Chains A and B, each alone.
Chain A
């Protein structure tokens, strides 16, 4: 009996949780009608419409499509363009801003991936950065290097200065330090793996693309402070994209 009670309580809690989760907001159709597709894309067929003056319940969103419910319970996906022709309860036109240029100007966090050439080898990198101000950011970078004669990985911390953040293609300058690990390929004469410190100078251009995306092109000059007599200099070119928050 106590078991059954516990189960019942659990069920009620789950039901309450499910009910609380359904957070539907309403807008009113202002155009003659809006079209409902079966899926979140222009290619999915239109099977329903909601007419002018009827309430539209917004259930969820995927990219620029909204899953909505009509007053008689039909569900379907409406495009952002059509949803912006509806009215909010206050009578104002509904707006569903994707993160835009304004959000980009205000953003703090950024993460992204880059691919390119590291001294003749292919390299991939992932980075995360935090902006203290519109001009200054600190960035952590991890990369994998895939070469014909050796493989390796690197990690670095950089300070990035953006000269004119409001430009569409915005140049930046970076200064950093890190570690690099190089493993010569096994087929060659046995040379030991190396761990060396690096000093890095770089410059590049980043540009706001759309929504939450940034494209980036960068050059970095690595001075590998090796334990041998000479320091090595390695040049790196990379391109990639980032997402901001």
Chain B
């Protein structure tokens, strides 16, 4: 009799344990699901570096005066494309053209003509260095960024029916009314060898020009 009571008691205990375990596991399942309901769905994007507007190119138009050795000074105009390599260095390609005047030999020689084609054009590839960055002040209210730069390069000059190896060297002062527009005044010496006046000599051809540039 005693053993029968014991077995009933034990089996009840076993059933109760099973039930409580089942309930517990059901609870456990519930608590697994619960956090998903409060998972935040805020979109956190990283910045897209490629979408930042870059302004490393600079396109320039220039007008000025080019003094061609032995052949007077004339109006020169041209264009230039620059690329800013760093805050200090830039590379640029230029093209310029002018019509040269008459040499004193032609004026005094009574009809002697040295040149059949009076056009001069040049191109060059140059490297520049921003030497003195700073500001210029207009009155007491306005300041504009400015920079004094040096530039030098190699190129070719087409003049007197011939192409001449040309070295250029110069400096300029640039003022920027806005980030993307610049006005500068520049002086450059274009040096090349020529023998048209009878002797082979290195000529210095100075150019002073006003540049207007746009950054993009």
Please give, as numbers and ranges, the residues of chain B lying within 8 Å of A243 by CB-CB distance.
83
Residue of A nearest to B54 (CB): A61
| A42 (CB) vs chain B CBs: closest residue | B87
Chain A stretch 71-96: residues in CB contact (< 8 A) with chain B:
88-92, 94-96
- The reply to whether B46 and A88 contact each other, CB–CB distance below 8 Å, is yes
B156 to chain A minimum Cβ distance, whole angstroms, is: 6
Decide: B52 and A58 in contact? CB cutoff 8 A.
yes
User: Interface SS of chain B: helix, strand, loop or mixed?
Assistant: strand
Give, as a whole number of angstroms, the nearest-CB distance from A67 to chain B. 7
- Taken residue by residue from 71 to 104, chain B's Cβ proximity to chain A (1 for < 8 Å, 0 otherwise) reads as 0000000000001111110000000000000000
* A186 at interface, CB cutoff 8 A: yes
Q: Does B169 belong to the interface (CB within 8 Å)?
A: no
B48 at interface by CB-CB < 8 Å: yes
Asked if A17 is at the interface (CB within 8 A of a chain B CB), the reply is: no
**Interface of chain B residues 125 through 169 with chain A (CB within 8 A):** 125, 130, 132-135, 143, 145, 147, 154-156, 161-165
Write the chain B residue with the least CB distance to A126.
B125
**Interface contact B179-A60, CB-CB below 8 Å:** yes
Size range of the chain B interface in the assembly: 35 or more
- Once the chains bind, are B48 and A25 in contact (CB under 8 Å)? yes
Residue of B nearest to A90 (CB): B44
Q: Is A63 an interface residue (CB 8 A)?
A: yes
Closest CB in chain A relative to B178 CB, distance in Å? 11
From 24 to 82 in chain A, residues with beta carbon under 8 angstroms from any chain B beta carbon are 25-27, 38-45, 58-67
- Neighbouring B residues of A39 by C-beta, 8 Å: 133, 135, 145, 176
Q: Name B87's contact: one of A65, A88, A115 (CB within 8 Å).
A: A65
**Residue contact B85 to A122, C-beta cutoff 8 Å:** no
B49 at the interface (CB under 8 A from A): yes
Does B45 count as interface, using CB distance less than 8 angstroms? Answer: yes
Complex Cα–Cα for A130 and B107 (A): 55
Contact with A along B27-52 (1 / 0, CB 8 A): 00000000000000000111111011
The 5 closest A-B pairs by CB, nearest first: A43-B133, A39-B145, A41-B87, A60-B53, A90-B44
